[in-house]
Structures are given as C-alpha cells and as structure tokens.
Amino acid sequence: MSGDKGDGDGSGEGKGVTMRVEVDVPKCVASGQCVMIAPDVFDQREEDGIVVLLDERPPSELHADVRESAVVCPAAAIRVVEK
Amino acid sequence: MVGASAAGLAAAETLRREGYEGTLTLIGDEPYHPYDRPPLSKQILGGQWDPDRVPLRAPADLDALGLDLRLGVAATGLDLADRTVALADGARVPYDGLVIATGVRPRRLPGDGGERAHVLRTLDDALALRDRLGPGRRLAVVGAGFLGAEAAAVARGLGAEVTLLEPAPVPLAPAVGERVGRMLARAHHDHGVDLRTGVAVAEVTDGGVRLTDGTLVEADEVLVAIGSVPNTGWLEGSGLTLGDGLECDEYSAAAPGVYGAGDVARWHNPLFGTAMRIEHRTNATEQGMAVARSLLRPDERRPFAPVPYFWSDQYDFRIQAHGYLRGHEEVAVVEGALEERKFLAVYRSGDRVAGVLAVGMPPKAVRTWRQAVATRAAWRDAVGELVPEGT
Ligand SMILES: Cc1cc2nc3c(=O)[nH]c(=O)nc-3n(C[C@H](O)[C@H](O)[C@H](O)COP(=O)(O)OP(=O)(O)OC[C@H]3O[C@@H](n4cnc5c(N)ncnc54)[C@H](O)[C@@H]3O)c2cc1C
Ligand code: SF4
C-alpha cells in the first residue's frame, strides 16, 4: 500500500514518501482536534487530554489526515517531516 | 494574504499543500514571523517560555512554503476593480485571490497611553507587561473576560497583588452563563484576587485606575482587557461591507475572489443559522484553510459551518468549550459538579444543543458532547425537558 503512483490524495509526490510525526507535548493544549481528524495516529491522555502519539510513522493512506492535523493543531504542537 | 498570523498562515499553507504553485504574498505589519498568541497571556507572561517558543512554524518549514513575505509593512488600501492591495511602503501588490486576515486590536480606555498602561495582543505587549510584574507589584486588570482573567491568574502566580475590575455583576455571564461565571469569580477569590464586579472604569490615571464614581484604584501597572476592535480601517472606501468586522457570506466570501478569515471576519454559519465573528485560535486556522480551498476549487466550495472551539487556562484548571454559547437559553450541568471545578455543562438555544463547556473532564466525554453540538441534537433527546434560564 505504499502507493507508487500519485493516487490523487493531494500528496502528489508518489513513490513511497515516508512520514515522521513529531509532537511537542509541552505545547499541546488538549484540544483534541488531531484525534478527531486522525484517530489512528493521535490519542489523548485520559486524565488531562494531552496528546499521545500512537504512530510515529503512519502509513501513506493516513498522510493527508496527519498533515491536516498538523495545520489545524491550535498549539502548533505537531510537526510532520516527509522524505 | 493580508495579516501574517494564524489565519493568514493557514491559508498560505493550505494553498501550497494542495497544489497552488503561483506567487503567494503574505503581508503583515508586525516585524516577526507568524507567531502564536494564546501563550502570550500564559507561558510568556508567566515567564515559563522564552519568545523563541511562539513562532507558528520552524523557519525551515516556513521557507519551504516559498512565500513572498512582506513583514513589518501594513496594507493601507484595497482596489477591488484593479485587484491590488496598496502597502504603506508605496508598493502595490496585484492579486487573483485575496484573503483578508488582519485580526483585531485591543479596545482602549481614555488615558491609557501612559507608562503604566498595558494591553495584551502582541508579543511586545506580553514582554513589556512581564518585565513589570513580580512579587509585591500592584496590577489592576480592567475587564474580567477570558484574557483579563488569564492575566490576573498568571500575575498572582508571579506574586503580584491583583485587582480585577468588571462592569458586569458576574464575569463572563453572557459567554458562559451565570453559574459558570460565578464559579470563575470564586476561583479568583480563592487565589487572592480582589475581584470587584459592577464597577465602571472611567480612565487610567497617574496613580492607577479612576472609577466613574471617582474612586481611585491604586496600581503600579494597569492592563486594559475590555475587548477588541476588528482591523478593517484599511478597507474603508474599498466597497467591501464593514460592520462588526468584515461582513462575509456563508462561504466566508466578502466579494468575488475575496475572502475573510479569523478574528476579523463575520460570516453566516449555517450550522447555527446565524452570523458570527469568532475570536478563537482554532477558528482562525479552520477558516484560513476553508477559504484557501474555496480559492483553489471555486466550483466545489462549501459553506463554512464549523463547531467553534476555545480553551482558556485559569489558575490550575482549563476551560474547554465547543459550540456557540452566546445567546443560550439554558445551561445544564450534566456531569461532575461546579464546586469541584470538574464538570461538563451543556448549553441550549431554541430546542437544540448549542454548546458544551467542560473543566477537568475526560476527553472522550467532551468529544461525545461535541458530537451532539455538531449534529445539533434535539435537547429533549440529549438532555431532557427544557428549563429556561432563571427558573
Ligand atoms: C493574549 C491572547 C491570548 C489568547 N488566548 C486564547 C486561548 O486561550 N484560546 C483561544 O481559543 N484563543 C485565544 N486567543 C485568540 C487567538 O489568539 C486569536 O483568535 C487568533 O490569534 C486570531 O488569528 P488571526 O490570524 O485571525 O488574527 P491575529 O492573530 O490578530 O493576526 C492578524 C495580523 O494581521 C496584522 N494586521 C492588522 N492590520 C494589518 C494591516 N493593515 N496590514 C498588514 N497586517 C495587518 C496584525 O498585526 C496581526 O499580526 C488569544 C489571543 C490573545 C491576544
Ligand atoms: S490538536 Fe494539537 S493541541 Fe490539540 S490535542 Fe492535538 S496536539 Fe494537542
């Protein structure tokens, strides 16, 4: 499933782009936006709602959602590195 | 994009990410790279963070967007027929699509130009106030809205003596309801803030703050936090409709190819069936993204119909709210207890769930209620009988 053709999900890059996700936990304000957009990649701690990164290297079909989460995050706490 | 902050940056980033390859000009009158405002009244004012923590994007990520960044220069006019934006340095920037994201500025008080008077909107504002707070310093905060309340809490944490002046009998009652407002008032008292409600402030003076009845509230520093005014001055005479902000339709469009986003924009939110202007951090981003998509794919554009969200940190607790709470007719505490500062309150407008506000509740519970707001669930099904406020 590592998509070697641009399949129109908006990523455009094609050939097995790898993604690494970084979260700056002290910045997180527990808004939960990332969890609503990409629940397979992000969760929230039960006690205070702070982000928990479930998948540091999400599969390509989740990349669009992860990029969306990074833009939406109101604390700019999510950073996406793609190679 | 005019306005280089949360909304303008989100629009720029979305345009690039979703395939726009042409010139993207981001114009901002502040001299800094886009930075985040919520930490200003929290970690920056409290001294926990250095200013290098607030930029919205790492320099490399910003570079990668390939923007024509015009910082430290204000837009001074808009010519809709010509499709150009005039800048203070004399330049004219042509556009095919325009995003207006110039935000708001603090409302002021008479006499607040002096040394001891502060507002809190920019990084420079926050650093200036931070440098003057400390043990034994006397701070008067005018306005017990979220901003004033956060600043009061942080100043107490720094050991300052704080007087919080609020014209309404209960702080934030229109926004969150009387009961939650009283809970907030109690939190101030518990933390040693001298909260005075029902007082009208006339002016900032040499000695502090003068009330309309003549009383002088002595203070070394005064923070004026009495709301804000949309930055639309540069649009006057452009032909766009200006009222309480830039007036937009349900697509956030102000004119063909011209969109408003963030704190400056008032638009019709079809989910709540009303026009609103939202001064919340997430709305700035979401609206910036939405208008970018409308510019990229005008044939597929959809009304902007978000569930607004905000949070606010006060002392040792955090308020989170989803929905549109203003104008609510009923508040029901459905979980927890206000006195314990752990609760979930649901807000009703008409016969529908309009919002949810939570303090110290598990995220899943909050998300479940947010869903009730997003679907505009019937109150009777979600909560029960309708009981109007004040009965
Ligand atoms: C201290 C503080 C704390 C906050 N805390 C919270 C919080 O806890 N939770 C929450 O949800 N929200 C919070 N907010 C609100 C949130 O920060 C705003 O909703 C958000 O910044 C709005 O982004 P914006 O891009 O629409 O506008 P702004 O951030 O106001 O940016 C507009 C930019 O445009 C510039 N500009 C104005 N006029 C011109 C012109 N003519 N030409 C060029 N540039 C111009 C301005 O200088 C500014 O840089 C807080 C705000 C402040 C100030
Ligand atoms: S979107 Fe950002 S602030 Fe909100 S929970 Fe996720 S990481 Fe935290």
Instruction: Please tell me which of the candidates B17, B55, B282 has its beta carbon nearest to residue A33.
Output: B282
Interface ipTM? 0.88
| Within-domain flag for B75 | yes
Instruction: Outline where A2-50 has alpha helix (H).
Output: 33-37
Domain contains A19:
no
Given a cut of 70, whether residue A83 has pLDDT beyond it is yes
Most B CBs within 10 Å, among A19, A20, A29, to test the B interface = A29
Nearest CA to CA, how far is B48 from chain A (Å)? 11
pLDDT for the residue numbered B113? 76
pTM: 0.94
Interchain contact, A27 vs B10, CB within 8 Å? no
Q: Whose CA is nearest to atom 38 of ligand 1?
A: B102
Same domain, residue pair B137 and B213:
yes
Low-confidence ranges of chain B (pLDDT < 50): none
B279 touches chain A (CB under 8 A): no
pLDDT of B26: 98
Domain boundary residue among B224, B259, B279?
B224
Is residue A5 situated within a structural domain?
A: no
pLDDT averaged over every residue in chain B: 96
Residues B69 and B112 in one domain: no
Ligand 1 atom with the smallest distance to the CA of B120 is 1
pLDDT value, residue B384: 87
How many domains does chain A fold into? 1
SS (H, E, C) chain B: CECCCHHHHHHHHHHHHCCCCCCCEEEECCCCCCECCHHHHCCCCCCCCCHHHCECCCHHHHHCCCCEEEECCCEEEEECCCCEEEECCCCEEECCCEEECCCEEECCCCCCCCCCEECCCCHHHHHHHHCCCCCCCEEEEECCCHHHHHHHHHHHHCCCEEEEEECCCCCCHHHHCHHHHHHHHHHHHHCCCEEEECCCEEEECCCEEEECCCCEEECCEEEECCCEEECCHHHCCCCCCEECEEECCCCCEEECCEEECHHHEEEEECCCCEEEECCCHHHHHHHHHHHHHHHHCHHHCCCCCCCCEEEEEECCEEEEEEECCCCCCEEEEEEEEHHHCEEEEEEEECCEEEEEEEECCCHHHHHHHHHHHHCCCEHHHHCCCCCCCCC
Is any ligand 1 atom within 6 A of the Cβ of residue B28? yes
Please say which residue of B300, B332, B351 terminates a domain: B300
> Who's near B35: CB < 8 A, 6+ residues apart?
B5, B54, B55, B56, B123
**How many structural domains does chain B have?**
3
Dist. CA B387 → ligand 1 center (Å): 37
- B308 in a structural domain: no
Same domain, B129 and B215: yes
Contact A76 B363 (CB under 8 A): no
Domain that includes residue A73, residue range = 28-82
- Beta strand B161-166 with B228-230 is unpaired
Residues B242 and B99 grouped into a single domain: yes
Tell me: do B83 and B232 sit in the same domain. Answer: yes
pLDDT of residue A65: 96
Is residue B220 a part of any domain in this protein?
A: yes
Residue B373 lies in a domain: yes
In a domain, B307, yes or no: no
Give yes or no for a contact between B4 and B83, defined as CB atoms under 8 angstroms apart.
no
Cβ distance of A75 and B36 shorter than 8 Å: yes
* Whether residue B101 sits in one domain with residue B232: yes
For residues B324 and B360, membership in a common domain is answered with yes
Res A7 pLDDT > 60: no
Q: How confident is the model at residue A16 (pLDDT cuts 50, 70, 90)?
A: low
* pLDDT recorded at residue A5: 36
Looking at CA atoms only, how far is residue A61 from chain B in angstroms?
Answer: 16
Within-domain flag for A4: no
Residue contact A32–B19, C-beta within 8 A: no
Q: Does residue A16 sit within a domain?
A: no
Domain membership of residue A64 (yes or no) is: yes
Which residues span the domain enclosing B371? Answer: 316-382
CATH number of the structural domain spanning residue A40: 3.30.70.20
Gap between the Cα atoms of B248 and B255, Å rounded:
8
Asked if residue A10 has pLDDT above 50, the reply is: no
Interval B299-325: pLDDT, tens: 999 999 999 999 999 999 999 999 999
- Give how far A28 is from chain B: nearest CA, Å: 11
The reply to whether A6 falls in a domain is no
Same domain as B233, residue B99: yes
Looking at residue A8, its pLDDT comes to 39
Is the residue at B355 inside a domain? yes
